[in-house]
Structure 1
Amino acid sequence: MKKLYLASSIDQTAKSIAKDIGKDPKKLKLAFIITASEVEKGELDWLDDDRNGLIEAGFDLFDYTITGKTRKDIERDLGNVDVVHVNGGNSFYLMLQIRKCGFDEWIKSKVNTGVIYSGSSAGSIVAAPNIEIAKKIATAEYEKKLKSYKGIGLVDFIILPHWGSEYFKDLYLKKRLEIAYKPENKIILLNDYQYVKVEDDSYKIVDVRDK
């Protein structure tokens, strides 16, 4: 069964996701993909919060980056993981590294064999068929190198994370909503307490505050 968990902020949702998986998280090996954070400036407290959220939920995790890796490296290093969690940061830089090493094709094949894909923020955005909505000044350099907005395509919808966050308000109202406002875009808005649970071709939005 194909199973994905696409969150806005994994630190707020990890415990709910761990419970929903239905297995002892201590027995699940999780790769914490930090690639998107490699070009982020300033304090990375949010990265630590996300990592700690997964640890507190009970997952046995290790940090990993796909930057500079080959498809063979990834198959060797991640071949035995149960959960691949792609964390947040710069979506366009992340997608560039994904394409360079063939992570997109690898993860699609693994998800189809039962490996769980988990995403947070940028990690949820790149699961979509199109990542154009992630555009901002900090992504321009990597946007040019990508040459297209194609995402991994694990799902047929686009996640807009951090909905309602004061920090992202200007970015959304002045940029992202204008980009997203197209009839062909299937959009799901997520606040930091929500995630989308995907099982095969069905999905639902879960709000952890309702539990």
Structure 2
Amino acid sequence: MSGKLAYIGDAARSYGDASWVLTERNTLASQGFELVDLPLSTTPADQAASILDSVDAVYAAGGETFDLLNVLRTTGTFDLLKSKVEAGLTYIGTSAGSVIASPNIEYISPMDNPGIAPDLHDYTGFGFVDISVVPHASGTIPSYPVTTIAEIVAKYGETHPLQLLRDGQALIVEDGRITLV
């Protein structure tokens, strides 16, 4: 895949100029994507709609899941983005971007801080998949140790269809089929 990619980096706002953000962007560019920045927190909804109409895919980057969902809700772009993807726009999500593709994001609270978005009370995600994605499940990233992953499984494993993903793994969803790669 190549082409124009709307890059939604709002989840990483609280991380500033973290090296992993630049690495991610450079990796996408080196793979042939033309990145079109789409900072939802500062882009009017009508302009966001125009950008989404002009790209081949949307990429929701990692960071704080609750902050990302809060931005989507407060800017009115949640329904916009959901409808574009349901109409056929390819959605790529990493870390927080993959979590919001789930039906509900509450389960990720041991990993990401709900307090970053104190006014967010509706944790309903996009529901693009019927599973609850748990990124960084190998526990090798210091801020997401295996004990945090175990806490998610212990607290939510009975009530949420958890899909643990190690770094380097991905889910491809096509025609309702989910393939782990």
Task: Choose the corresponding residue for 2:90, options 87, 110, 116.
Answer: 116
- Deviation track 1:120-168 (CA, whole Å, cap 9, x = no partner) reads 0000001111101221486232453111321122221111001113222
Residue in 2 that maps onto 1:37: 12
Distance (whole Å) between structure 2 residues aligned to residue 62 and residue 153 of structure 1: 25
1:114 shift after superposition: 2.2
Structure 2 residue 28 is the aligned partner of structure 1 residue 54: yes
Distance (whole Å) between structure 2 residues aligned to residue 35 and residue 155 of structure 1: 21
Task: Choose the corresponding residue for 1:203, options 169, 173, 178.
Answer: 178
Structure 2 residue 166 is the aligned partner of structure 1 residue 191: yes
Q: Identify if the C-alpha distance between structure 1 residues 137 and 110 changes in structure 2 by more than 3 Å, giving closer, same or farther.
A: closer
Distance (whole Å) between structure 2 residues aligned to residue 199 and residue 36 of structure 1: 25
Calculate the TM-score normalised by the size of structure 2: 0.89
Calculate the TM-score normalised by the size of structure 1: 0.77
Distance (whole Å) between structure 1 residues aligned to residue 98 and residue 7 of structure 2: 14
RMSD of aligned alpha carbons: 1.9
Distance (whole Å) between structure 1 residues aligned to residue 122 and residue 153 of structure 2: 19
Q: Identify if the C-alpha distance between structure 1 residues 137 and 60 changes in structure 2 by more than 3 Å, giving closer, same or farther.
A: closer
Kept in 2, the 8 Å contact 1:96–1:142? The answer is no
Alignment of 1:129-140 (within 5 A): 129-136=103-110, 139-140=113-114
Q: Percent identity?
A: 31
Higher mean Cα deviation, 62-71 or 78-87? 62-71
Residue in 2 that maps onto 1:150: 124
Distance (whole Å) between structure 2 residues aligned to residue 147 and residue 112 of structure 1: 24
1:61 shift after superposition: 1.1
Task: Choose the corresponding residue for 2:149, options 147, 159, 172.
Answer: 172
Kept in 2, the 8 Å contact 1:160–1:189? The answer is yes
Where relative contact order (Cα < 8 A, 6+ residues apart) is larger, the structure is 1
- Deviation track 1:3-46 (CA, whole Å, cap 9, x = no partner) reads xxxxxxxxxxxxxxx3xxxxxx1xx11011110000126x6111
Helix, strand or coil: the match of 1:144?
coil
Residue in 2 that maps onto 1:105: 79
1:76 shift after superposition: 2.4
Distance (whole Å) between structure 2 residues aligned to residue 86 and residue 124 of structure 1: 8
Higher mean Cα deviation, 104-113 or 122-131? 104-113
Gaps of 5+ in 2: none
What letter is aligned with 1:181?
Answer: G
1:103 shift after superposition: 2.1
Gaps of 5+ in 1: 1-17, 19-24, 207-211
Distance (whole Å) between structure 2 residues aligned to residue 105 and residue 194 of structure 1: 28
Distance (whole Å) between structure 1 residues aligned to residue 52 and residue 37 of structure 2: 11
Kept in 2, the 8 Å contact 1:132–1:179? The answer is no
1:48 shift after superposition: 1.2
What letter is aligned with 1:176?
Answer: I
